[in-house]
Amino acid sequence: MTEPGISFYEARGPQGMRLYAIGDVHGRLDLLTAMHRRIEAELSQRPSTDWRVIHLGDYVDRGPDSRGVIDFLIDAQRRDPRHLMLAGNHDLGFLDFLDVPDPDGLFMRYGGVQTALSYGVSLTANAYWFGKAETVRQGHAALVEAVPQNHVEFLRSLPFSVTFGDFFFCHAGIRPGVALESQSLQDLIWIREVFHDHTGLHPKIVVHGHTPVPKAEITGNRVNVDTLAWQSGNLTALVVDGADKHILTVTGERA
Protein backbone atom coordinates (compact mmCIF):
# COMPACT_ATOMS: atom_id res chain seq x y z
CA MET A 1 0.00 0.00 0.00
CA THR A 2 1.38 3.42 -0.94
CA GLU A 3 2.27 5.61 2.02
CA PRO A 4 0.18 8.81 2.01
CA GLY A 5 2.04 11.95 0.98
CA ILE A 6 2.43 15.21 2.85
CA SER A 7 2.64 18.76 1.56
CA PHE A 8 5.25 21.32 2.56
CA TYR A 9 2.68 23.53 4.24
CA GLU A 10 1.43 20.70 6.48
CA ALA A 11 4.87 19.30 7.31
CA ARG A 12 6.31 19.64 10.78
CA GLY A 13 9.66 19.02 12.38
CA PRO A 14 10.08 16.92 15.53
CA GLN A 15 8.64 18.43 18.69
CA GLY A 16 11.26 20.52 20.47
CA MET A 17 13.94 20.13 17.76
CA ARG A 18 14.97 22.91 15.38
CA LEU A 19 16.47 21.82 12.05
CA TYR A 20 18.87 23.71 9.80
CA ALA A 21 19.58 22.21 6.36
CA ILE A 22 22.48 23.88 4.52
CA GLY A 23 22.91 23.69 0.75
CA ASP A 24 25.99 22.96 -1.38
CA VAL A 25 29.13 24.69 -0.05
CA HIS A 26 31.69 23.83 -2.79
CA GLY A 27 34.78 25.13 -1.06
CA ARG A 28 33.29 28.39 0.26
CA LEU A 29 34.63 28.23 3.80
CA ASP A 30 33.85 31.93 4.26
CA LEU A 31 30.14 31.35 3.66
CA LEU A 32 30.03 28.15 5.72
CA THR A 33 31.56 29.85 8.76
CA ALA A 34 29.20 32.80 8.30
CA MET A 35 26.21 30.45 8.21
CA HIS A 36 27.34 28.68 11.37
CA ARG A 37 27.78 32.01 13.15
CA ARG A 38 24.27 32.97 12.05
CA ILE A 39 22.84 29.69 13.34
CA GLU A 40 24.71 29.98 16.63
CA ALA A 41 23.39 33.51 17.08
CA GLU A 42 19.84 32.38 16.36
CA LEU A 43 20.10 29.49 18.81
CA SER A 44 21.43 31.90 21.41
CA GLN A 45 18.70 34.47 20.84
CA ARG A 46 15.90 31.92 20.46
CA PRO A 47 16.98 28.78 22.30
CA SER A 48 15.56 25.41 21.32
CA THR A 49 15.35 22.27 23.45
CA ASP A 50 17.31 20.41 20.78
CA TRP A 51 18.64 21.06 17.27
CA ARG A 52 20.38 19.53 14.24
CA VAL A 53 22.49 21.24 11.57
CA ILE A 54 22.32 19.11 8.42
CA HIS A 55 24.81 19.69 5.60
CA LEU A 56 23.49 18.38 2.28
CA GLY A 57 26.78 17.45 0.60
CA ASP A 58 29.17 18.83 -2.05
CA TYR A 59 31.77 20.28 0.28
CA VAL A 60 34.57 20.24 -2.30
CA ASP A 61 35.36 21.46 -5.85
CA ARG A 62 34.97 24.79 -7.62
CA GLY A 63 35.39 27.11 -4.63
CA PRO A 64 38.75 28.17 -3.18
CA ASP A 65 39.02 26.28 0.13
CA SER A 66 37.75 22.70 0.02
CA ARG A 67 40.42 21.64 2.49
CA GLY A 68 39.30 24.32 4.95
CA VAL A 69 35.66 23.28 4.58
CA ILE A 70 36.45 19.66 5.43
CA ASP A 71 38.60 20.71 8.40
CA PHE A 72 35.75 22.92 9.63
CA LEU A 73 33.15 20.16 9.31
CA ILE A 74 35.32 17.57 11.03
CA ASP A 75 35.88 19.98 13.91
CA ALA A 76 32.17 20.88 14.11
CA GLN A 77 31.22 17.21 14.27
CA ARG A 78 33.85 16.55 16.92
CA ARG A 79 32.54 19.43 19.05
CA ASP A 80 28.90 18.42 18.76
CA PRO A 81 27.55 15.33 16.96
CA ARG A 82 24.34 17.24 16.23
CA HIS A 83 26.24 18.61 13.23
CA LEU A 84 25.35 16.10 10.51
CA MET A 85 26.99 15.80 7.08
CA LEU A 86 25.56 13.93 4.09
CA ALA A 87 27.38 12.75 0.98
CA GLY A 88 27.30 14.68 -2.29
CA ASN A 89 28.35 13.51 -5.73
CA HIS A 90 31.40 15.79 -5.74
CA ASP A 91 32.56 14.43 -2.39
CA LEU A 92 32.46 10.90 -3.76
CA GLY A 93 34.06 12.10 -7.00
CA PHE A 94 36.99 13.36 -4.92
CA LEU A 95 37.35 9.93 -3.33
CA ASP A 96 37.11 8.29 -6.75
CA PHE A 97 39.95 10.45 -8.06
CA LEU A 98 42.13 9.65 -5.05
CA ASP A 99 41.59 5.95 -5.86
CA VAL A 100 41.98 6.22 -9.65
CA PRO A 101 43.36 9.37 -11.39
CA ASP A 102 40.83 9.53 -14.22
CA PRO A 103 41.56 12.60 -16.41
CA ASP A 104 38.00 12.44 -17.74
CA GLY A 105 36.20 11.96 -14.41
CA LEU A 106 33.96 14.27 -12.43
CA PHE A 107 36.82 15.58 -10.30
CA MET A 108 39.01 16.81 -13.16
CA ARG A 109 36.11 18.13 -15.21
CA TYR A 110 34.17 20.03 -12.57
CA GLY A 111 36.32 21.90 -10.10
CA GLY A 112 38.79 19.37 -8.80
CA VAL A 113 41.65 21.61 -9.89
CA GLN A 114 40.55 24.11 -7.23
CA THR A 115 40.21 21.36 -4.65
CA ALA A 116 43.76 20.18 -5.31
CA LEU A 117 45.06 23.75 -5.03
CA SER A 118 43.53 24.02 -1.55
CA TYR A 119 45.86 21.14 -0.60
CA GLY A 120 48.83 22.86 -2.25
CA VAL A 121 48.81 20.63 -5.35
CA SER A 122 48.65 21.87 -8.95
CA LEU A 123 46.45 19.89 -11.34
CA THR A 124 46.26 22.07 -14.42
CA ALA A 125 43.10 22.04 -16.50
CA ASN A 126 45.30 21.48 -19.57
CA ALA A 127 46.12 18.07 -18.17
CA TYR A 128 42.52 17.15 -18.85
CA TRP A 129 41.72 19.10 -21.96
CA PHE A 130 44.78 17.91 -23.88
CA GLY A 131 44.64 14.38 -22.54
CA LYS A 132 47.97 14.58 -20.68
CA ALA A 133 47.20 11.59 -18.50
CA GLU A 134 50.78 11.35 -17.25
CA THR A 135 50.57 14.90 -15.86
CA VAL A 136 47.36 13.95 -14.09
CA ARG A 137 48.98 10.84 -12.63
CA GLN A 138 51.86 12.90 -11.26
CA GLY A 139 49.48 15.41 -9.72
CA HIS A 140 47.41 12.57 -8.34
CA ALA A 141 50.41 11.12 -6.50
CA ALA A 142 51.10 14.51 -4.93
CA LEU A 143 47.44 14.94 -3.95
CA VAL A 144 47.23 11.50 -2.34
CA GLU A 145 50.26 12.49 -0.27
CA ALA A 146 48.77 15.89 0.64
CA VAL A 147 45.25 14.86 1.69
CA PRO A 148 45.15 14.00 5.42
CA GLN A 149 43.88 10.53 6.24
CA ASN A 150 41.17 11.96 8.47
CA HIS A 151 39.77 13.82 5.45
CA VAL A 152 39.53 10.55 3.52
CA GLU A 153 37.93 8.81 6.49
CA PHE A 154 35.45 11.67 6.91
CA LEU A 155 34.37 11.53 3.26
CA ARG A 156 34.06 7.73 3.35
CA SER A 157 31.89 7.92 6.47
CA LEU A 158 29.23 10.25 5.03
CA PRO A 159 25.68 8.84 5.04
CA PHE A 160 23.42 9.42 2.04
CA SER A 161 20.25 10.52 3.82
CA VAL A 162 18.67 11.33 7.15
CA THR A 163 15.10 11.99 8.23
CA PHE A 164 13.53 14.05 11.00
CA GLY A 165 9.82 14.56 11.47
CA ASP A 166 8.09 15.06 8.13
CA PHE A 167 11.36 15.83 6.31
CA PHE A 168 13.77 13.64 4.34
CA PHE A 169 17.22 15.11 3.67
CA CYS A 170 19.59 14.03 0.89
CA HIS A 171 21.92 15.61 -1.64
CA ALA A 172 20.07 15.35 -4.96
CA GLY A 173 16.58 13.92 -4.45
CA ILE A 174 14.62 10.68 -4.65
CA ARG A 175 13.03 8.51 -7.30
CA PRO A 176 9.25 9.04 -7.12
CA GLY A 177 7.23 5.96 -6.25
CA VAL A 178 10.13 4.19 -4.51
CA ALA A 179 9.97 3.87 -0.73
CA LEU A 180 12.39 6.19 1.04
CA GLU A 181 14.20 3.29 2.68
CA SER A 182 14.65 1.63 -0.75
CA GLN A 183 16.13 4.58 -2.64
CA SER A 184 19.33 3.81 -4.56
CA LEU A 185 22.49 5.58 -3.44
CA GLN A 186 23.05 6.68 -7.04
CA ASP A 187 19.70 8.48 -7.11
CA LEU A 188 20.24 10.12 -3.73
CA ILE A 189 23.35 11.93 -5.01
CA TRP A 190 22.67 12.29 -8.76
CA ILE A 191 18.96 12.36 -9.66
CA ARG A 192 17.50 15.44 -11.33
CA GLU A 193 14.70 15.67 -13.92
CA VAL A 194 12.48 12.74 -12.96
CA PHE A 195 12.53 14.01 -9.37
CA HIS A 196 12.14 17.71 -10.16
CA ASP A 197 9.32 17.14 -12.63
CA HIS A 198 7.23 15.04 -10.25
CA THR A 199 4.31 17.04 -8.86
CA GLY A 200 2.76 14.40 -6.62
CA LEU A 201 3.39 14.29 -2.91
CA HIS A 202 6.11 12.14 -1.35
CA PRO A 203 5.90 10.38 2.03
CA LYS A 204 8.04 13.22 3.42
CA ILE A 205 9.18 16.60 2.17
CA VAL A 206 12.50 16.10 0.38
CA VAL A 207 15.11 18.73 1.27
CA HIS A 208 18.00 18.70 -1.19
CA GLY A 209 20.64 20.60 -3.14
CA HIS A 210 22.66 19.43 -6.19
CA THR A 211 20.83 21.48 -8.83
CA PRO A 212 21.59 25.23 -8.57
CA VAL A 213 18.70 27.71 -8.43
CA PRO A 214 18.85 31.52 -8.10
CA LYS A 215 17.07 31.38 -4.73
CA ALA A 216 15.63 28.64 -2.54
CA GLU A 217 12.98 26.69 -4.43
CA ILE A 218 9.96 25.58 -2.41
CA THR A 219 7.27 23.38 -3.96
CA GLY A 220 4.54 21.25 -2.46
CA ASN A 221 6.82 18.21 -2.20
CA ARG A 222 10.43 19.42 -1.94
CA VAL A 223 12.82 22.25 -1.04
CA ASN A 224 16.00 22.99 -3.00
CA VAL A 225 18.62 25.02 -1.11
CA ASP A 226 21.49 24.90 -3.62
CA THR A 227 21.92 28.56 -4.56
CA LEU A 228 25.30 28.13 -6.33
CA ALA A 229 27.20 29.42 -3.31
CA TRP A 230 30.67 29.01 -4.83
CA GLN A 231 29.81 31.48 -7.61
CA SER A 232 26.84 33.55 -6.40
CA GLY A 233 28.17 34.21 -2.91
CA ASN A 234 24.82 33.13 -1.43
CA LEU A 235 24.68 30.12 0.88
CA THR A 236 21.17 29.06 1.82
CA ALA A 237 19.58 26.94 4.54
CA LEU A 238 16.06 25.76 5.34
CA VAL A 239 15.05 26.23 8.97
CA VAL A 240 12.32 24.01 10.42
CA ASP A 241 11.01 24.64 13.93
CA GLY A 242 7.82 22.67 14.51
CA ALA A 243 5.32 23.96 11.96
CA ASP A 244 7.39 27.08 11.26
CA LYS A 245 9.59 26.93 8.18
CA HIS A 246 11.73 29.70 6.75
CA ILE A 247 14.82 30.32 4.63
CA LEU A 248 18.13 31.60 6.00
CA THR A 249 20.76 33.08 3.66
CA VAL A 250 24.26 34.42 4.19
CA THR A 251 25.94 36.51 1.51
CA GLY A 252 29.57 37.05 0.60
CA GLU A 253 31.67 37.92 -2.41
CA ARG A 254 30.73 36.56 -5.82
CA ALA A 255 33.33 34.39 -7.53
Q: Give residue-wise pLDDT tens across range 140-165.
A: 999 999 999 999 999 999 999 999 99
Output the CA–CA distances (angstroms, integers) from residue 230 to 181, 186, 204, 210, in the order listed: 31, 24, 29, 13
pLDDT at position 124: 72
Whether 58 has a pLDDT exceeding 80, the answer reads yes
Entry pTM? 0.95
5-53 residue pLDDT tens? 999 999 999 999 999 999 999 999 999 999 999 999 999 999 999 999 9
Residue 70 predicted with pLDDT over 50: yes
| 128-146 pLDDT per residue, tens | 444 456 778 888 999 999 9
Q: How does DSSP classify residue 4?
A: P
In this predicted structure, the answer to whether residue 126 has a pLDDT above a threshold of 60 is: no
Summary mean pLDDT of the chain: 95
Q: What secondary structure does DSSP assign to 167-232, as a single string?
A: EEEESS---TTS-GGG--HHHHHH--HHHHT--SPPSSEEEE-SS--SS-EE-SSEEE----HHHH
Q: Minimal CA–CA distance to 228: which of 27, 20, 18?
A: 27
Report the pLDDT value the prediction gives residue 129, as an integer from 0 to 100: 46
Domains of the chain: 18-27+43-198+206-231+240-248 (3.60.21.10)
pLDDT tens figures, 228-247: 999 999 999 999 999 999 99
Question: Per-residue pLDDT tens for 199-237?
Answer: 999 999 999 999 999 999 999 999 999 999 999 999 999
Give the CA-trace dihedral at 102, 107, 108, 111, to 10 degrees.
Answer: 180
What's the pLDDT tens digit per position in 83-107? Answer: 999 999 999 999 999 999 998 899 9
